[in-house]
């Protein structure tokens, strides 16, 4: 795992940074503690699609073991075309967290982060856009 002090401070500068995490078994939503209803309700609150979250725009990508935490990640494309990532974290220290943000690390960034880069940024609390 790449430690925070080994990363550029801004994920917009990560470019071709290669990040990989082992997948959970099974690599499905089957054991995700968050239901699809809970995730869609969260998208309806956090996205530009306020109260109009469309399940057809939600696509499960993968699971990951990130440090001691477990993560499920989906992509969600808002009606304006913005690609977002939605994450559901189970923390080894206790508690669960839902997160959502644009896949692009800032408004001037053209290339979105990979799902793995996004999970690393969220794990290190670098999601601020």
pTM reported for the whole predicted model: 0.94
What backbone phi and psi angles, to 5 degrees, belong to 5?
Answer: -70, -5
Specify if 55 maps to a domain: yes
Q: Residues with Cβ < 8 Å from 35, sequence gap 6 or more?
A: none
The range of the structural domain enclosing residue 55 comes to: 22-123
Specify if 67 maps to a domain: yes
Specify if 4 maps to a domain: no
Specify if 16 maps to a domain: no
The mean pLDDT value of the chain amounts to 94
Helices (H) and strands (E) in the chain, counts: 2, 4
Specify if 45 maps to a domain: yes
Specify if 68 maps to a domain: yes
Q: Residues with Cβ < 8 Å from 55, sequence gap 6 or more?
A: 36, 40
Residue 67 pLDDT exceeds 90: yes
Residue 120 pLDDT exceeds 90: yes
Q: What is the pLDDT of residues 12-26, one digit of tens each?
A: 899 889 999 999 999
Number of domains in the chain: 1
The residue assigned the tokens 């601020």 is: 128
CB 58 within 8 A of CB 47: no
The residue among 95 and 108 whose pLDDT is bigger is 95
Specify if 88 maps to a domain: yes
Considering only 37-46, 69-78, 104-113, which range has the smallest mean pLDDT? 104-113
Specify if 87 maps to a domain: yes
């Amino acid at each position: 795992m790449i430690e925070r002090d080994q990363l550029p401070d801004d994920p917009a500068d990560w470019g071709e940074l290669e990040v990989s995490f082992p997948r959970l078994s099974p690599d499905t939503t089957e054991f995700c503690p968050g239901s699809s209803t809970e995730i869609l309700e969260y998208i309806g609150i956090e996205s530009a699609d306020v109260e109009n979250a469309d399940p057809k725009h939600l696509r499960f990508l993968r699971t990951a073991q990130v440090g001691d935490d477990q993560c499920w990640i989906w992509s969600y494309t808002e009606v304006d075309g913005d690609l977002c990532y939605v994450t559901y974290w189970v923390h080894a220290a206790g508690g669960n967290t839902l997160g959502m943000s644009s896949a692009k690390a800032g408004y001037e960034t053209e290339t979105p982060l990979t799902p793995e880069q996004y999970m690393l940024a969220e794990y290190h609390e670098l999601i601020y856009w």
